[in-house]
Structure 1
Amino acid sequence: MSAIVVVGAQWGDEGKGKVIDFLSEQADMVVRHQGGSNAGHTVVVHDQEYKLHLIPSGILYPDTVCVIANGVVVDPKTLLDEMAYLRQRGVDTDRLKISAQAHVVMPYHARLDALNELRRGDQKLGTTLRGIGPAYMDKAARIGIRVGDLLHPAEFRERLERVLEEKNRLLSKAYDADPFTFEELYDTFLEYGEALRPYVTNTSIIINQAIDRGDRVLFEGAQGTMLDIDHGTYPYVTSSHPVAGGATIGAGVGPTKIHRVYGVAKAYTTRVGDGPFPTELRDALGDQIRQRGHEFGTTTGRPRRVGWLDTVVLRYAARVNGLSGLAVTRLDVLDGLPELQIASAYQYRGTLLDEFPESASVLAEATPVYETVPGWTEPIGQVRRLADLPAAARHYLDRLEALVGVPIVLVSVGRERSSTIPLEELF
């Protein structure tokens, strides 16, 4: 199997970075295909922690080519800072490739993001304020600036003049905010373009060539299924497609070239930002799991909302992504709990719901139907074989697998690379 997509099967923050890092050891190429610097991966290698936002975590392997494809929106300053951060820690970034067709996040995008959230008040979406939504809006409106534009001063000047006039009018008239100065943006982003020039290329060509050669190509999404703009808990979603289908559009490959899709899910559930969350724990137990799982956003530092495992969500993710297998992370966070709850369905006004509801208002009123299973007292962080897990932990995984209907192919019992238990050959 030469082309694999890894997706988040919940609301993001499932530990995709760790799973992708584990798979990257076997990969020739890792491709990031959507999202922007609103996403974050934390990877621990030999007790060294790396926090990445735009660059695929495969960069930590010296022979892996890493691609930022056309579906990503790129903040050039964030990207250049991340490259410098990696180089300072001895990581080679020369293997990075950036699509000329990827759209650029401009400073006016971040300002409009913040102003829009402020205007929404109690109805805010809980964005990261990084300008990701406004950048995708400009892409859809066909007024966006792409990475390749930064390499051509005359074309960039023409595009920036046109769009900045519109943005400054919007800022001053609608928000009573200060406008941006053309020359400052123009000069700064030309410098960014020159710094990125050695890395910019037609990434669709190199990805397809790699697959055709039989290279092992790993597609890395940001966020999670429930934040997909079409298939997530709209409007509390991101502005792109974290589902598996987004990989083909966001990387410029055909769907027939994808061989497997793996979903990543925590052994419990978390989400950042606002929106309905049926299994949320708003008590001391939720706080305990949050602290033990270090459940604070990589990008924002915001505390994540925590809840019991929700298999209604996971069945939905299995369907819309066509999951081949499930990677379960953070199982060790549940150590020591006397019993665990698994949501197998919802109740809504006296009706049992086995499938995830399309309506946000229905989801907001839905209450989970729980199965209670025994917990385990033994710490499992040092376990390296499935058979060595406590019987209750194996039962928990078996029940999860049965309720979701997708085989578990990997279990993670800690933050380090070594605390990963593959259950089959994944590549």
Structure 2
Amino acid sequence: MATIVLGAQWGDEGKGKIVDILSESAQLCCRAQGGHNAGHTIVKNGITFDVHILPSGVLTDGCVNLIGTGCVIYVPGFFKEIETLEKHGINTHDRILLSDRCHVDLDLHTKVDGLREVELGKGLIGTTGKGIGPTYSTKATRSGIRIADVFHKESFDDKVRQLAHGFQKRWGDLLKYDPEEELKRFDEYRERLQPFVVDQVPLVESAVKGNVRMLVEGANALMLDIDNGTYPFVTSSNTGLGGVFTGLHLNPRKIKETIGIVKAYTTRVGSGPFPSEQLNEFGEKLQSVGKEFGVTTGRKRRCGWLDLVVVKFSHSINWYDSINLTKLDILDDFDEVKVATKYSHNGQALPSFPADLAVLDNVEVEYKTLPGWKSSTVGLTKYEQLPENARKYIEYIEEFIGVRVKYIGTGPGRESMIVR
């Protein structure tokens, strides 16, 4: 049976922590989509680890970690993360597996990503610049390169050169890239990469039939989904529940629980609509107290009040069984807290989160104001220990969304978690 953990907002909700905790009872931890544009922070034994492409279960002894078919892999970054873990005494031997159907994110893709952002000018997407979009683009146009291709040097080299030639025709002298340099590096990677690569299909089928305890770690979040997010200000993969099934080949009838990760306020990195954003002292306080900097990019995150229109929309697509509310402690020192409960446009209430960016840019947001609790929740581990107003805040969220808040984060450490 599989437990699935998915971001319910625009990412950076704190998925890594709950995955790290749940991985203690998991035998197989999986990523289904995305690449090293994701960033999950985990604090373990006083040490902070940032993982980008590796599943967070890699920090748990005995848990095998699979990077699934729906992911794209930047090979140098893959090796760098493994080396960093091993320097800190984390044993990764025979615990990291890579689907042979993953697409390869080349340095070529990264350079094209940067050129596309420059070309967009003021309308830039605000990507992480990691080449994710161009890699998924070449996958969709059937000109991409898969991990399985890496082990056939002659044809692999031809594919990289052909891909580079196509981009050079498009970008001319603006593209500073020599395919021969990257091909030389892959001559070194090839032998090192081989032991990690597996055929995912029989592996997952065997795990499902053997009732292996599986944990699936979503990357990014629903509002960055290529189909359901704030398009075009999104990532290039399906970040919701659907992406789990296409990226991992799971049996949909073998799902134990789907957990939506919701930060106690809202943040976003990069460009795009953000109706509850606070460009004032409240937003600045959330950013400062919450230490809101992107794990992957280092950019300041945009901050605002919790948007329950977004979370309810996310639930309508991902069908959460429970919610993990993270970073509740960041709100400890606010006199009052607000939550967005309704959007209107031209005086008309909207039934859900709209697709039309022209509408989104001009929505009126209705807020519910709740009293703050003005006392520390840091490190609390029992629901009854929370201040009364903190409990009322949580219960208002539950009532509005219609999903139980089962897990509540009260600090960065893995021990700072309330389980109801």
- Fold shared per TM-score above 0.5: yes
Question: What is the aligned partner in structure 2 of residue 156 from structure 1?
Answer: 156
Residue number among 354, 357, 360 corresponding to 1:357 in the alignment: 354
Structure 1: distance between partners of 2:258 and 2:358: 30
Q: Which AA in structure 2 matches 1:336?
A: D
Residue number among 273, 281, 285 corresponding to 1:284 in the alignment: 281
1:168 Cα deviation after fit: 2.5
Q: What is the CA deviation profile of residues 51-78 of structure 1, one whole-angstrom value per residue up to 9, with x for unaligned ones? A: 1100011000110000101111000001
Structure 1: distance between partners of 2:288 and 2:255: 37
Contact between 2:208 and 2:251, CA under 8 Å: does it hold in 1?
A: no
Structure 1: distance between partners of 2:352 and 2:390: 26
Q: What is the CA deviation profile of residues 90-127 of structure 1, one whole-angstrom value per residue up to 9, with x for unaligned ones? A: 11122000011100011111111101100111000000
Structure 2: distance between partners of 1:413 and 1:261: 21
Structure 1: distance between partners of 2:253 and 2:174: 48
Q: Which moved more, 1:187-196 or 1:25-34?
A: 187-196
Asked whether 1:379 is paired with 2:376, we answer: yes
1:213 Cα deviation after fit: 1.0
1:183 Cα deviation after fit: 2.5
TM-score calculated relative to the size of structure 1: 0.96
5+ long unaligned stretches in structure 1 = none
Structure 1: distance between partners of 2:235 and 2:413: 28
Q: Which AA in structure 1 matches 2:84?
A: Y
Structure 1: distance between partners of 2:364 and 2:214: 40
1:179 Cα deviation after fit: 4.8
Structure 1: distance between partners of 2:10 and 2:177: 35
Contact between 1:226 and 1:232, CA under 8 Å: does it hold in 2?
A: yes
Q: Which AA in structure 1 matches 2:405?
A: I
Question: What is the aligned partner in structure 2 of residue 397 from structure 1?
Answer: 394
SS for the counterpart of 1:91 is coil
Structure 1: distance between partners of 2:150 and 2:205: 25
Question: What is the aligned partner in structure 1 of residue 342 from structure 2?
Answer: 345
Contact between 2:30 and 2:66, CA under 8 Å: does it hold in 1?
A: yes
Q: Which AA in structure 1 matches 2:166?
A: E
Asked whether 1:44 is paired with 2:53, we answer: no
Q: Which moved more, 1:287-296 or 1:180-189?
A: 180-189
Structure 1: distance between partners of 2:48 and 2:202: 33
Contact between 2:381 and 2:419, CA under 8 Å: does it hold in 1?
A: no
Q: Which AA in structure 1 matches 2:48?
A: E
Contact between 1:312 and 1:354, CA under 8 Å: does it hold in 2?
A: no
Q: What is the CA deviation profile of residues 263-287 of structure 1, one whole-angstrom value per residue up to 9, with x for unaligned ones? A: 0000000011111111101112211
- Aligned sequence identity (%): 39
Q: What is the CA deviation profile of residues 223-276 of structure 1, one whole-angstrom value per residue up to 9, with x for unaligned ones? A: 010000000011100000110110010112232333321100000000111111
Q: What is the CA deviation profile of residues 338-373 of structure 1, one whole-angstrom value per residue up to 9, with x for unaligned ones? A: 111111111211112241112121111112111111
Residue number among 406, 409, 414 corresponding to 1:412 in the alignment: 409
Asked whether 1:119 is paired with 2:119, we answer: yes
TM-score calculated relative to the size of structure 2: 0.97
Structure 1: distance between partners of 2:351 and 2:322: 21
Contact between 2:39 and 2:51, CA under 8 Å: does it hold in 1?
A: yes
Q: What is the CA deviation profile of residues 13-65 of structure 1, one whole-angstrom value per residue up to 9, with x for unaligned ones? A: 00011111111111111101111111100101122100110001100011000
Structure 1: distance between partners of 2:125 and 2:152: 36
Residue number among 245, 253, 256 corresponding to 1:256 in the alignment: 253
Structure 2: distance between partners of 1:182 and 1:233: 35
1:186 Cα deviation after fit: 1.6
May I ask how many residue pairs the two structures share in their alignment?
Answer: 419
Structure 2: distance between partners of 1:421 and 1:208: 34
Contact between 1:344 and 1:354, CA under 8 Å: does it hold in 2?
A: no
SS for the counterpart of 1:365 is coil
1:160 Cα deviation after fit: 2.1
Structure 2: distance between partners of 1:414 and 1:183: 48
SS for the counterpart of 2:77 is helix
Asked whether 1:35 is paired with 2:34, we answer: yes
After TM superposition, list the pairs within 5 Å mapping 1:9-408 onto structure 2. Answer: 9-94=8-93, 95-172=95-172, 176-408=173-405
Contact between 1:3 and 1:258, CA under 8 Å: does it hold in 2?
A: yes
Q: Which AA in structure 2 matches 1:201?
A: V
RMSD: 1.2
Structure 1: distance between partners of 2:139 and 2:243: 16
SS for the counterpart of 1:344 is strand
Q: Which AA in structure 1 matches 2:59?
A: L
SS for the counterpart of 2:22 is helix
Q: Which AA in structure 1 matches 2:315?
A: A
5+ long unaligned stretches in structure 2 = none
Q: What is the CA deviation profile of residues 184-203 of structure 1, one whole-angstrom value per residue up to 9, with x for unaligned ones? A: 22221232222111100112
Q: Which AA in structure 1 matches 2:251?
A: G
Structure 2: distance between partners of 1:6 and 1:188: 35
Structure 2: distance between partners of 1:193 and 1:263: 38
Q: What is the CA deviation profile of residues 382-418 of structure 1, one whole-angstrom value per residue up to 9, with x for unaligned ones? A: 2110011000000000000111111111111110000
**Aligned pair in 2 of structure 1 residues 178, 237: CA closer, same or farther (>3 Å)?**
closer
Contact between 1:136 and 1:239, CA under 8 Å: does it hold in 2?
A: yes
1:164 Cα deviation after fit: 2.4
